[in-house]
Amino acid sequence: MREAGAGYNSWNAVTSTGDIHIRTYTLCIVGLGNVGAALVALLQRKRHDLADRYGIAFRITGVASRRLGWLVAPEGFTPEKLVAGDFSEAKEANDLADWLHAAKPDALFEASSLNAETGEPAITHIRAALELGAHAISANKGPVLHAYRELTQLAESKGRSFFFESAMMDGAPVFSLFRSALPAIEILGFRGVINSTTTVILEAMQAGKSFDEAIAGAQRLGVAETDPSADIDGIDAAVKVVEVANVLMGASLKLSDVARQGIRGITPAQLRDAQENGEAWRLVSRARRQSDGSIVASVAPERLEIDDPLAQVQGTSLLIAFETDIFKELIISERDPGPEATAYGMLSDFVNAVRSS
């Protein structure tokens, strides 16, 4: 029986035991790189758990990327084939609109590359999916940076959700913690080490590498992009500051409102001197509400006492510490996350979206 108010292809079925109602959702994924592939694998691995605990079944009817184009399998792709890069089951759609109408998603996962200047084309992907009545789940920071309120209001008008846990700390529960577990709390400010590439580079320099050698090492590890400027100049961290301030503190910051200084000016000698004096350099992101209600935000390298939780962040780990009217310092941290952690954030958002709709 079709569920009233559901998306295109949400269907109810009753298992043979008669006590569990299974609802099948059609899913589309934009971006089939490391995160997108990890999401497909995680969905498949969690298939039985999703059905047994939440009554959720799924089929993936659309995948898309710049390399693949717009691929559709209305009856559902075989997840194992997708993970293996086998798209023999696919038909090709002409464009985004054609793809969405053919794949008929109940939920869209957006995992394309970040465009920090405009948030496109991810914003267009999400807007189109919401207009058609699908939930939108994003690992892309751009839509949150440039269109958070627009997309949230559109989702609400359609009775759907726009969630983006993986756009902050690889799926660690930052936004959902406050949305679900901490109602009626006021965030006064936050600080954190929320860009891992700079930590990896600073640690390599502290060990004796030059700045260029440290960047090359981070690139070999797959931590730094071919052009690492978004990380080392603090742009990625500033984007995350805007996200958190706007979503959790009700701010209306733009990227240009964040005072930003990257790590280019930090030298190996400074790092070694800090280490010898029981201190450590980290790229620290901050935002704080002022007495007049405005929010001041910054990203800059700071020399920290070694017992500071931010100084303890190592490798690809991340940490954000919130100051609230109840908790002096509430810390969320994750240790060396990978693509599966980001994929989990998207899976968690999907489960929360369909359970609340």
Determine phi and psi for 79, rounding to 5 degrees: -55, -40
State the Cα–Cα distance between residues 119 and 126, nearest whole angstrom. Answer: 11
Count Cα atoms within 13 angstroms, Cβ side, for 208: 0
The identity of residue 12, as a single letter, is: N
Classify burial at 291, counting beta carbons within 10 Å of its beta carbon; exposed 0-12, middle 13-18, buried 19 or more: exposed
Neighbours of 273 (CB within 10 A): 13
State the Cα–Cα distance between residues 30 and 8, nearest whole angstrom. Answer: 18
State the Cα–Cα distance between residues 180 and 188, nearest whole angstrom. Answer: 18
Residue indicated by tokens 């369909």? 354
Angle, helices 122-131/96-103, rounded to nearest 10 degrees: 40
240 assigned to active site: yes
The identity of residue 342, as a single letter, is: T
List the catalytic residue out of 91, 104, 240, 328. 240
Active site residues per annotation: 240
